[in-house]
């Protein structure tokens, strides 16, 4: 018998943890590739005036100690890279052989990132009901579309998959089990929902993934073992840096260990090819049926 487990694919979610600095962004990419041994890095792209109402844009940041501007809008603009910056980041990723991607939060951002033709584009939980954006991507972008299902009802997930089926793009869809919170306590991770996604949509979509906002890495190994072969975690160089996502992110050593562990588990999830493996035969001859 052969294992049915797919090879793990680990995504380092940089998001806005670059603090609006291109050099930090490139350092995050380099460390993710060389030290952490992950498969992909992912950023975020927002058109803040399209995404936010005028009132939201001009309000103070809800947690001023983490703000990079006087208003929430100014804070978001400070952290935002334009499409040319993203083109530069994608080129840098290609130079060092790691996959570039970005989460898009609005239609304008989706169009801008699609113009760069990355291998995949992510739609965050907050935007998985933006039908206009989803339909545009299905019709105009040929890569994989990865979608998180945090703060989403089962009926909404069904509608989402139905949209992709109607557009004949469901085999390019990756659905992520996710709980939206920063950080998420273990009892709210709800890993067994991975089973539900596999049972209901495993044959309809390309992969089932897991996007975690918890602490540590034990949960990610369990998520992979349950069948989520794509693992995404927020990642930073320093969890004490200013910003809302750093505290719920892994530092390089944690991400390195996560990648190491899920790949080790992948190798271990096999059936025995024969009753006595070659490594056992030596021990059998040495230890089994010894005379007292």
Architecture of domain 9-287: Alpha-Beta Barrel (3.20)
CA dist 95 and 92 (Å) reads 5
- Mean pLDDT on 209-216: 95
Q: What is the three-class DSSP state of 33?
A: helix
Q: What is the pLDDT of residue 68?
A: 92
Closest CA relative to residue 49, chosen from 22, 24, 80? 80
Give the domain ranges of the chain.
Answer: 9-287
What pTM did the predictor assign? 0.95
Q: What is the pLDDT of residue 248?
A: 84
- Mean pLDDT on 257-261: 98
Choose the weakest-confidence range: 182-186, 242-246, 281-285: 242-246
User: In the predicted model, is pLDDT for residue 64 greater than 90?
Assistant: no
DSSP state for residue 128 in the 8-state scheme: T
Q: What is the pLDDT of residue 188?
A: 97
Q: What is the pLDDT of residue 291?
A: 63
| The pairing of beta strand 9-15 with beta strand 230-234 | parallel
Do 29 and 89 contact (CB within 8 A), yes or no? yes
The terminus-to-terminus CA distance of the chain in angstroms comes to 38
Percent of the chain with pLDDT over 90: 84
- Please report how the helices 218-226 and 193-201 are oriented relative to each other, as an axis angle in degrees rounded to 10: 30
Q: Convert the pLDDT of each residue in 128-165 to its tens digit.
A: 999 999 999 999 999 999 999 999 999 999 999 999 99
Q: Convert the pLDDT of each residue in 225-252 to its tens digit.
A: 999 999 999 999 998 888 888 888 999 9
User: In the predicted model, is pLDDT for residue 3 greater than 80?
Assistant: no
pLDDT band at 288 (very low <50, low <70, confident <90, very high): confident
CA dist 211 and 95 (Å) reads 27
């Amino acid at each position: 018998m052969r294992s049915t487990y797919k090879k793990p694919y680990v995504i380092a979610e940089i998001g806005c943890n670059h603090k609006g600095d291109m050099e930090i962004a490139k350092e995050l990419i380099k460390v993710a590739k060389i030290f952490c041994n992950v498969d992909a890095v992912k950023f975020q792209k927002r058109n803040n005036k399209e995404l936010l109402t005028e009132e939201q844009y001009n309000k103070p940041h809800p947690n001023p100690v983490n703000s990079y501007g006087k208003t929430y809008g100014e804070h978001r603009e400070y952290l935002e890279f334009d499409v040319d910056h993203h083109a530069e980041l994608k080129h840098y990723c290609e130079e060092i052989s790691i996959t570039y991607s970005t989460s898009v939060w609005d239609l304008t951002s989706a169009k801008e990132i699609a113009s760069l033709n990355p291998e995949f584009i992510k739609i965050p939980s907050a935007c998985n009901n933006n039908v206009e954006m989803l339909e545009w991507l299905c019709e105009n972008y040929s890569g994989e579309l990865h979608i998180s299902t945090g703060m989403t009802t089962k009926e909404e997930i069904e509608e989402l998959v139905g949209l992709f089926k109607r557009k004949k793009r469901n085999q390019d869809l990756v659905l992520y089990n996710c709980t939206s919170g920063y950080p998420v306590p273990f009892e709210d991770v709800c890993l067994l929902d991975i089973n539900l996604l596999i049972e209901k949509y495993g044959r309809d979509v390309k992969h089932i993934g897991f996007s975690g906002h918890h602490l540590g890495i034990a949960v990610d190994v369990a998520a992979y073992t349950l069948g989520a072969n794509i693992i995404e975690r927020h990642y930073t160089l320093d969890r004490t840096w200013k910003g809302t996502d750093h505290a719920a992110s892994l530092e390089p050593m944690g991400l390195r260990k996560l990648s190491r562990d899920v790949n080790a588990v992948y190798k271990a999830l096999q059936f025995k090819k024969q009753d006595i493996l070659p490594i056992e035969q030596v021990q059998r001859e040495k230890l089994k049926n010894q005379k007292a």
